Amino acid sequence: MDFELTPEQKLVRETARKFADQEIIPVARENDALERFPWDLIKKMAPLGFLGATVPEKYGGAGLDYISDAIIFEEVGRGCSSLRTIISVQVSLAEHTILKWGTEEQRQNYLPKLCGGEYLGCFGLTEPGAGSDPASMKTAAARKGDGWVLNGSKTWISTGSLANVAVIFAQADPSKGYKGITAFLVEKGTPGFSSRDITGKMGLRAANTAQLFFEDCFIPGKNLVGSPGEGLKIALDALDNGRFGVAAGCVGIMQGCVDACVKYSKERYQFGRPIASFQLVQDMIARMCVDMDAARLLVYRAGHLKNRGVRNTIETSMAKYFASEAAVRAATDAIQVHGGYGYSNEYPVERYLRDAKVATIYEGTSQIQKLIIGENILGVRAFV
């Protein structure tokens, strides 16, 4: 087992780290405070390949491996989790769904635009009454001529109001239960398709989050993704990619916490000496570093399996579960190290905590991840 990064991966890390330090971090606090979507940063990331890292070059992507993908998510997440969420949805959920399950026409039409930053994408699975239980979704798809008509709604959809194309899941045959769920591509501006922003969020304040509405929304047959009834399979496959991006981004949050605490603890003096010399401060920072390294290795293991084309559901769930919970612990301790200053946005650690918390909820809560892990280990389904 080789833990050394390849020359190409080191170059990706250098490029992503430089971009985060020079472009993302200087504006992250202001974007968060103003709830400002970082359009300028997205446009700057496209030429670097960040918007299509693992998509083949023939479709406009960078053709990188999944370890490089994780490195990008980590470095961007170290700077701003809102921005990391945007590119995670773009690459892991929208692009990879189209790449694996879409037709060649769909790949040629959408992927170059998504990878090049001309289009934004989103992923519409969650509904007001269907979060951890997507099989209970109520959004309906009915055949009409050579297409389909959608009726229903989605909620908590990242980039939902701004996306040019949305991957949407709907129930096409209720008599078949989860085997009736079907996936579609819905373009912005389609009659009957509308959105409404969700505001007042605790974290990810610079990322757009929305409700989506479908009222007699006609979707042409060519926008069907996969085959009718394959929707849940497609969604679960996509979530393996999405959770990978979340986990890697949480490693970035932990790295940000460590960096901030090391700097602050050496500068802050109490009782005539830097607080870095206090044993309990060292204890908190040491725990952050152990958790960070463990999370990074879990992410890299999942990435290694992805590179080999091996099923990685349990490994990705482990990485997402551990990294998200560890990021919350790290951010909580980072605020403690900073004392009263950590409670204000003068330092980034309070933002790290707000942004880390949602990672334990979206794309499968920590509790759902443990049930996935348990089911794979025990061979006994936890879900009815």
250 is written with which tokens?
Answer: 């949480």
CA distances from 122 to 68, 106, 133, 215, 368 (A): 22, 15, 20, 19, 22
Retrieve residue 337's tokens.
Answer: 């190290």
- CB–CB of 337/285 below 8 Å? yes
- Give per-residue burial for 360-379: e unless 16+ CB within 10 Å, then b: bebbbebebbebbbebeeee
Tell me the two tokens of residue 359.
């990672």
The residue ranges of DSSP E strands in the chain, in sequence order, are 121-124, 140-144, 147-158, 165-171, 181-187, 193-197, 209-220, 224-225, 269-270, 273-274
Let me know if 363 is a catalytic residue.
yes
Cα-flanking dihedrals φ and ψ of residue 140, to 5°?
-110, 145
Q: What angle do CA 270, 276, 279 make, to 5 degrees?
A: 95
Number of H helices, E strands in the chain: 12, 10
Q: Cα separations (Å) of 330 from 63, 148, 203, 334?
A: 33, 47, 16, 6
Catalytic site residue from 57, 267, 363, 375: 363
Q: Which residues pair with 97 in a beta bridge?
A: none
Specify whether the CB–CB gap between 194 and 150 falls below 8 A: no
Contact status, residue 93 vs residue 237, Cβ threshold 8 Å: no
Amino acid identity for residue 178 in this structure = Y
Separation between Cα atoms, residue 373 and residue 315, nearest integer Å: 8
Question: Could you give the CA distance from residue 189 to residue 278 in angstroms, rounded to a whole number?
Answer: 59
Tell me the catalytic residues.
363
